[in-house]
Amino acid sequence: MDSYPVPPAAPPSPVRPPARPLLTYTLLGLTAAVYLLQILGQALHFDLATAFGLKYNDFIRQGELWRLITPVFLHGSILHLAMNMYGLFIFGPSLEMRFGRGRFFLLYFLSAYAGNVLSFLLNPNPSLGASTAIFGLIAAEGMFLFQNRQLLSDRGRAQIVNILIVAGYNLFYGLVNPRIDNWGHIGGLLGGLIFTWFGGPRFRVEGVYPAYQLVDERQGHGALSGAAAVLLFFIPLTILGWIWPIG
């Protein structure tokens, strides 16, 4: 189970008019719908969603590589689902607004992939849940604040501290609770950090007050740069987990 007690930082101002976070809402609805399928399947003793989507190391080594992504849609209880969807609801809209839908899509699923890869490599137990992706969002929030700290000044530094507290609290909670896949959380954090370091928005101010705006220096290439960095780091770990099973 996961908890996310501190809300994300506000975006720097001024910003472009915010778009509706449609991808965030779609992910919320889709994940809830998959959980309903899990509940229905369990009632019928035929839970195909969990059977074919769970992170299960032996099946991954047999070639079922989709299991490095699909656990992001699966949850073990209504509380597990609620906590992860709360994290998505808190962090998702502002990140989607800043990153754009394409980059946010890649951030979410590459963080999930990174978390499941590290779990595949180091955790022998089956696992499921969106917390791999949520930890990636937490990391992306912190890295975004760090890379744009000159625009945010003291407010940005305080918000970075809040993000560190959120991540530290949840990692500690994972350490003391043996049911939690902490390797998945760490992998998600790394995925979000790497993606945002190489591909997240870096704003600069153009123009003179009052006719000024924030311009993203990475607009147009951030998605490719961030995705390439995550894949170059985690694909070798996937191969390592396949040929040299540690967990």
Residue 183 in domain = yes
pLDDT at 1: 44
Residue 30 in domain = yes
pLDDT at 9: 44
Residue 121 in domain = yes
Q: End-to-end CA distance of the chain: give it in Å, rounded.
A: 22
Residue 161 in domain = yes
Place of tokens 């809040």: 162
The CATH number of whichever domain residue 186 belongs to comes to 1.20.1540.10
Contact 186, 172 (CB under 8 A): no
Residue 232 in domain = yes
Three-state DSSP state, 220? coil
pLDDT at 2: 58
pLDDT at 212: 67
3-state secondary structure 22-88: HHHHHHHHHHHHHHHHHHHHHHCCCCHHHHHHCECHHHHHCCCHHHHCHHHHCCCCHHHHHHHHHHH
Distance CA 111, CA 140 (A): 10
Residue 120 in domain = yes
Q: How many domains, the chain?
A: 1
For the question of whether the overall pTM of this predicted structure is more than 0.75, the answer is yes
Contact 91, 134 (CB under 8 A): yes
Residue 64 in domain = yes
Q: Can you give the residue range of the structural domain that contains 189?
A: 22-243
Residue 13 in domain = no
Distance CA 107, CA 59 (A): 25
pLDDT, tens digit only, all 247 positions of the chain = 455 444 444 444 434 444 689 999 999 999 999 999 999 999 998 899 999 999 999 999 999 999 999 999 999 999 999 999 999 999 999 999 999 999 999 999 999 999 999 999 999 999 999 999 999 999 999 999 988 887 776 666 677 777 777 777 677 776 777 778 999 999 999 999 999 999 999 887 776 666 667 777 788 788 999 999 999 999 999 999 988 877 5
Catalytic residues: 131, 185
